[in-house]
Amino acid sequence: MSAPAALLSPGPTPVLRHDWQRAELLELFDLPFPELLHRAASVHRQHFDPAEVQVSTLLSVKTGGCPEDCAYCPQAQRYNTGVQAQKLMDTEQVLEKAKQAKAAGASRFCMGAAWRSPKDRDIPKVAEMIREVKALGLETCATLGMLNADHAQALKSAGLDYYNHNLDTAPDFYGEIIHTREYQDRLDTLENVRDAGMKTCSGGIVGMGESREQRAGLLQALANLPAHPDSVPINRLVQVAGTPLHGTTELDPFEFVRTIAVARITMPQSMVRLSAGRESMSDELQALCFAAGANSIFYGEKLLTTGNPDTERDQALFARLGLRPMPLQAQNVHADHRIDVPGSGTVHADITEPTPQCGRAA
């Protein structure tokens, strides 16, 4: 099909739009694959060095036993997935993992908890973790469920740079996936995070049985937030036995790449993260995602409870594709406000170099 001239004209640097219509996004999705990739890659180059990929490491600081019913999630207590509930980790253990992540070349460390929302008594413990991880010279990120304004402020005061809270899917598919909290609750949490002066990390999951229109609806909801999320994780559903979504028909890999490309075009200055699901992707599919404008990954053998490519495989992939980790300075060029990261200059490790954990890339 032919795309409208307005969508195809290269033009000057685009202004950030917050008024995307679903039909416009669907027109992008419908473009011939090479044309869509070309457009996304062009937008990518206007804002980023396409050889640089931001590298984050995840740690589950509180695993399992979650009271929510998210149909994709291995950590929901109500599903029999074999995930053992654990209590909140000690700061010492978290710091050990953060040091390893830094030595392996990560620039951001994201702490996840299987909570609906943190309780008042959890906040000082998490704040201590954040302070100490930040003191290592890492950017800090947390994903702890819904956040009220006071909790958001307390985490900001502890030095939290990013808060991850996903919209997960389109408003019109959401009711098929989660029943224990509303879409509006998610928007409210993101508002509390922004109001506290933290950066937002928000994206979603594809491959949950949603339609293309609903994938477009997810990206529309993200792009039309009052501020584009600084990071946009695009997760491909990791199917876990025992969850209601286990057995869902797999998404066409090219449709996943299209989703990345449309995210890049509609949120040109955001870090678009090729997030969960990489373990089962070929190197070629990941390369297409980077070509379509993905410029962030989770690095390290584990996500929260499921697998991620091992570090040697990622080092080899970076080496084969000529990619390198994005230095913190470059990440903050695109931010609304700069982050004061102690010792940030030391975080610029090259994951293709040998590290205490891993050998040299092939």
- In the complex, the residues that contact ligand DTB under the rule CB under 6 A are 58, 74-75, 112, 143, 164, 166, 203, 233, 235, 238, 275-276, 303-306
Cα-based distances in Å from 250 to 98, 258, 278, 283: 34, 15, 14, 18
- Name which of ligand DTB, ligand SF4, ligand SAM, none residue 165 binds, using a CB cut-off of 5 to 8 Å depending on partner kind: ligand SAM
For the question of residue 66 being annotated catalytic, the response is yes
Q: Looking at 39, 73, 215, 258, which residue is catalytic?
A: 73
Residue 204's closest CA among 227, 226, 178? 178
Cα three-residue angle 72-265-13, rounded to 5 degrees: 150
**75 touches ligand SF4 (CB under 6 A):** yes
**115 touches ligand SAM (CB under 6 A):** yes
For the question of residue 289 being annotated catalytic, the response is no
For the question of residue 358 being annotated catalytic, the response is no
According to DSSP, the β-strands at 231-236 and 296-298 are unpaired
What b/e sequence results for 75-91 when a residue is b if at least 16 CB atoms lie within 10 Å of its CB, and e otherwise? bbeebebebeeeebbeb
Distance of alpha carbon 348 from alpha carbon 72, whole angstroms: 34
Q: Tell me, by CB under 6 A, how many residues bind ligand SF4.
A: 9
Task: Give me 351's structure tokens.
Answer: 């994951």
For the question of residue 73 being annotated catalytic, the response is yes
Q: Looking at 273, 278, 289, 324, which residue is catalytic?
A: 273
Helix (H, G, I), strand (E, B) or coil at 84: coil
Among 25, 40, 43, 76, binds ligand SF4 (CB under 6 A): 76
The helix (run of H) or strand (run of E) holding residue 61 is: strand 52-62
Residue 356 burial (C-beta neighbours within 10 Å; 0-12, 13-18, 19+): exposed
**114 touches ligand SF4 (CB under 6 A):** yes
- Name which of ligand SF4, ligand DTB, ligand SAM, none residue 237 binds, using a CB cut-off of 5 to 8 Å depending on partner kind: ligand SAM
Distance of alpha carbon 25 from alpha carbon 109, whole angstroms: 32
Among 37, 98, 201, 205, binds ligand SAM (CB under 6 A): 205
**83 touches ligand SF4 (CB under 6 A):** no
Site of interaction with ligand SF4 (CB under 6 A): 66, 68, 70, 73, 75-76, 114, 116, 145
Site of interaction with ligand SAM (CB under 6 A): 72-73, 75, 112, 114-115, 143, 145, 165-166, 168, 205, 235, 237-238, 240, 276, 304
User: Where in the sequence numbering do the catalytic residues fall?
Assistant: 66, 70, 73, 110, 141, 201, 273
